Amino acid sequence: MQDKLRVLILGDVVGQSGSRAIFLNLKNLKKSTNSDLVIVNGENITEGRGISPEDANTLFTCGVDIITTGNHIGQRKEIFPVLEKDSRLLRPENYPQAVPGTGHCIINYKDLNIGVLNLQGTVNLDNLYCPFKTARDTVEKLQHKTNIIIIDFHAEWPEEKEALALYLDGKVSALVGTHTHVQTADERILPGGTAYITDIGMTGPADSIIGMQRNTALKKSITMMPLKMEVADGQADIMGVVIEINPANGKAVSIQRIFEKSKM
């Protein structure tokens, strides 16, 4: 068994700017961080809302191993057949069972099995099944097959994210937050050996308001009118984390934030 596993996790890919950033930078970023596995949240890649089959295929072709999503996964019905067929594309596990796809998978890397779980928060978001109970039950199932478990918790509220991380501390290797598109500076290893950060940020247009055209976003905030938000373009920021895990016990050894400017 290898003595360490390094996982690169990138935040919500927003629009064509974010897609280009992955295309132009992922290979070198994976090499420079010495990462073995790449997980990317892709729920905003297609015009800022949802993910199309074409954009999912682009991410996989670029070297992404697992795509996680969140509250926009249902925006594009054409992705449903892909969710059913390709276990590398996840939707939140705590969605109703009738929703296509699954929220967890096990990927094999060399001689290691790695469990990945996608969850969505309920504070200021949809009223889904309890993420705490869903996480507990799914983690128990995954533990029969692996001690390396990584969670993308797509949630709005920092308290909910931190609470779930502490609830699962020592039972999972890492829990990273996504959804707000704003990278936080609270990355750390919890007492039980779980790596945690409240939000890993976004991979998308730097000259924007959380990935959207800033003039429209500003006008919407000032006037309170229901203006349609459009995805911004231009040079992208690449945000995420690299987590090192000890495969022998599944505990996180380190977590490091990534914040880089994309090549054009």
pLDDT band at 89 (very low <50, low <70, confident <90, very high): very high
Q: What is the pLDDT of residues 100-151, one digit of tens each?
A: 999 999 999 999 999 999 999 999 998 899 999 999 999 999 999 999 999 9
How high is the pLDDT of residue 131?
Answer: 98
How high is the pLDDT of residue 258?
Answer: 97
Quote the CA–CA distance of 211 and 191 in Å, as a whole number.
34
pLDDT at 177 over 90: yes
Quote the CA–CA distance of 145 and 189 in Å, as a whole number.
23
How high is the pLDDT of residue 229?
Answer: 86
pTM, to two decimals: 0.96
Q: What is the pLDDT of residues 50-87, one digit of tens each?
A: 999 999 999 999 999 999 999 999 999 999 999 999 99
Query: What domains can you pick out in the chain, each with its CATH number?
Result: 5-205+234-261 (3.60.21.10)
Task: Tell me the average pLDDT of the chain.
Answer: 96
pLDDT band at 186 (very low <50, low <70, confident <90, very high): very high
Quote the CA–CA distance of 133 and 61 in Å, as a whole number.
34
How high is the pLDDT of residue 181?
Answer: 97
Query: What backbone torsions phi and psi does residue 235 show, to the nearest 5 degrees?
Result: -60, 140
How high is the pLDDT of residue 263?
Answer: 81
How high is the pLDDT of residue 9?
Answer: 98
Could you say which of 72, 104, 179, 181 is catalytic? 72
Query: What backbone torsions phi and psi does residue 136 show, to the nearest 5 degrees?
Result: -60, -50
Q: Does residue 181 carry a catalytic annotation?
A: no
**Strand boundaries in the chain, DSSP class E:** 5-10, 12-13, 37-41, 66-68, 104-109, 112-120, 149-154, 174-178, 188-189, 195-197, 202-205, 236-246, 251-261
How high is the pLDDT of residue 228?
Answer: 85
Mean pLDDT over residues 40-45, rounded? Answer: 97
